[in-house]
Amino acid sequence: MEHNLALAAFFAIGSLVENSANDSKKIIEDFFSVILGTFQKTLQIGAFSSDQMRNDYQNYLASVIEACMVSEKIKLGLNEGKIVLNMLISSFKQREGVYEEGLLAASSIALGN
């Protein structure tokens, strides 16, 4: 149940970011660091009870990252972009393949900056 609530919350956050007004940019920028920190934690394989749970968290967090980039609420500098991209690449390596949400997030970073 807790797993489903967390995933629903990430989905809702992505939708809120994507549809938020431009004057909420500061709030989203502050929130973005929390999302990145949470995504970084998903790279710690032992922190989750199953690979599926970890993968689900990565999927939704990557969706939030992508929403922030596509809606142009977040602009990353070159170094910041590399850090986020490297986190996504690490998740691809752990999974031994790419996944749609991660690929969209990586693409949005490349296109948005």
Q: Which pLDDT tens digit goes with each residue over 19-74?
A: 667 776 677 777 888 889 999 999 998 888 889 989 988 998 998 888 888 766 67
Q: For CA atoms 13, 8, 96, 90, give the dihedral sign.
A: positive
What pLDDT does 98 receive?
A: 95
pLDDT at site 14 = 67
pTM of the model: 0.80
pLDDT score, position 93: 96
- pLDDT computed for residue 27 by the predictor: 76
Closest CA to 72 of 100, 36, 101, 32: 32
- pLDDT at position 28, please? 74
For 3, the 3-state DSSP assignment is helix
DSSP SS3 for 97:
coil
Domains in the chain: boundaries: 2-112
Asked if 63 and 17 count as a contact pair (C-beta separation under 8 A), the reply is no
Select the more confidently predicted residue: 10 or 65.
Answer: 65
Half-sphere exposure of 70 (CA within 13 A, CB side): 18
